DNA sequence: TCTGGGGTCCTAGGACCC
DNA sequence: TCTGGGGTCCTAGGACCC
């Protein structure tokens, strides 16, 4: 989907159209902490992008409409869109809240038919949801994903089997799936900037430097990706975290927040009929140093009291009067589908 | 510029079991 | 006397995705 959160907000509030809109943390006149989740194209024009500190967005565009994220709304719209798209695919894989892979191998006989299908999907989403999306078509997931990002918004990019390498060659390595900021920087030190540079590089050196990931990257750079479109399996963890308005070393403040997070998390586990065994607490100090500590219980549970008690124990080591805490988080994992859920609750 | 929140997957070391 | 080999599970950290 194109600038999904802000697009949904514009749809719900037509008066926002044509103005810069930013969904993210409260900017607080430039003093807010947190980041931009999504900015619309008017805000992008002046340089406001996803992931940017909200304080910087304020400097670039104080006149923008700033909105807190309305996740229940976005999830609802996302579900409707996924239901539309799913119908067209033989195999379907949701990717985050606003992207999906569709394997349509058995649905179309060539790229002409694939293009027609893509237009049909765009048409149905536009008609039913008044939202635009950008679609990429390719012989594998990697190519389709990069193609989908090639022309935005409202784009449609087709890369046929024989065209993959030529299409990828000039693009920066960062466009490859799994090449993030750190890997990009490492590759740069090897003199690798474009996907073409990577494709021509000695694969044995890549494997030496990056392990399995290096082998994988060299294949991707040559347009080779044999991964399947596969439906997301069950959820593997549930977590909530919060950044304090102000960093604090006050044990009471931190414990109260930890309890609130524990309650939200255990309620969610209960709603999803999941019993958990592992509890993880996350702490970020004011200097951004981040730690996690986890404990696997000798029993399955979904009780708030078990979670609170374990989380508190795990937090103790991090509560130091001389170290201010910026963020805390609580996560549960190691699930089994619960039969005994009701008894425990 | 000063860094959210929800996730997944991988790695490496260590405990423990047979 | 001092140490195999195969396996699973747990913990902590880190990279990446949207």
> For A131-137, what is the mean pLDDT?
98
DSSP annotation of A35: B
Distance in Å from C11's C1' to A277's CA comes to: 14
Predicted pLDDT at A337: 61
Residue A341 has pLDDT above 80, yes or no: no
Domains of chain A are 4-69 (3.40.1170.60), 72-158 (3.30.70.270), 169-221 (1.10.150.20), 237-342 (3.30.1490.100)
Predicted pLDDT at A233: 82
Percent of chain A scoring above 70 in pLDDT? 97
Residue A301's Cβ-side half-sphere holds a number of Cα atoms within 13 Å equal to: 18
Q: In whole angstroms, how far apart are CA A142 and each of A17, A137, A164, A165, A224?
A: 33, 10, 10, 12, 8
Q: What angle do CA A97, A98, A101 make, to 5 degrees?
A: 105
Distance in Å from C11's C1' to A298's CA comes to: 15
Predicted pLDDT at A342: 40
Distance in Å from B3's C1' to A110's CA comes to: 46
Which of A56-60, A151-155, A207-211, A291-295 shows the lowest mean pLDDT across its residues? A207-211
> For A99-105, what is the mean pLDDT?
98
Strands A135-137 and A156-158: parallel
pLDDT confidence of A232, banded at 50, 70, 90? confident
> For A82-99, what is the mean pLDDT?
97
pLDDT confidence of A44, banded at 50, 70, 90? very high
Predicted pLDDT at A345: 40
> For A70-98, what is the mean pLDDT?
97
Residue A344 has pLDDT above 60, yes or no: no
**Residues packed against strand C, CB within 7 Å:** A 95-99, 145, 176-184, 277-278, 290-296, 334
Mind telling me the catalytic residues of A?
Answer: 99
> For A271-297, what is the mean pLDDT?
97
Closest nucleotide to A213 by C1' from CA:
B10
DSSP annotation of A247: E
């Amino acid at each position: 989907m194109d600038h999904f959160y802000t697009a949904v907000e514009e749809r719900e509030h037509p008066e926002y159209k044509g103005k810069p809109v930013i969904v993210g943390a409260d900017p607080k006149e430039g003093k807010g902490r947190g980041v931009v989740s999504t900015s619309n194209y008017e805000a992008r024009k002046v340089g406001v992008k996803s992931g940017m500190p909200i304080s910087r967005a304020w400097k670039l565009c104080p006149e923008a409409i700033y909105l807190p994220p309305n996740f229940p709304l976005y999830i609802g719209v996302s579900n409707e869109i996924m239901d539309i798209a799913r119908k067209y695919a033989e195999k379907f894989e949701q990717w985050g809240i606003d992207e999906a892979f569709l394997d349509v191998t058995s649905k179309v006989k060539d790229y002409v038919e694939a293009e027609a299908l893509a237009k049909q999907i765009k048409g149905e989403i536009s008609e039913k949801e008044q939202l635009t999306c950008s679609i990429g078509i390719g012989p594998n997931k990697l190519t389709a994903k990069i193609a989908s990002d090639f022309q935005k918004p409202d784009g449609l990019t087709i890369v046929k089997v024989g065209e993959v390498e030529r299409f990828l060659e000039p693009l920066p390595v960062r466009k490859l799936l799994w090449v993030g900021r750190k890997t990009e920087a490492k590759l740069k030190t090897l003199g690798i900037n474009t996907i073409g540079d990577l494709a021509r590089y000695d694969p044995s050196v890549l494997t030496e430097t990056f392990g399995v990931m290096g082998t994988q990257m060299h294949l991707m750079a040559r347009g080779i990706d044999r991964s399947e479109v596969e439906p997301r399996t069950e959820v593997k963890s549930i977590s909530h975290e919060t950044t304090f308005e102000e960093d604090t070393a006050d044990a009471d403040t931190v414990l109260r927040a930890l309890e609130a997070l524990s309650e939200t998390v255990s309620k969610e586990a209960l709603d999803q009929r999941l019993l958990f065994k592992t509890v993880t607490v996350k702490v970020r100090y004011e200097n951004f140093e981040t730690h996690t500590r986890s404990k696997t219980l000798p029993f399955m549970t979904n009780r708030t009291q078990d979670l609170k008690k374990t989380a508190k124990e795990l937090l103790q080591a991090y509560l130091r009067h001389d170290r201010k805490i910026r963020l805390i988080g609580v996560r549960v994992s190691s699930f089994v589908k619960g039969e005994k859920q009701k008894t425990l609750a």
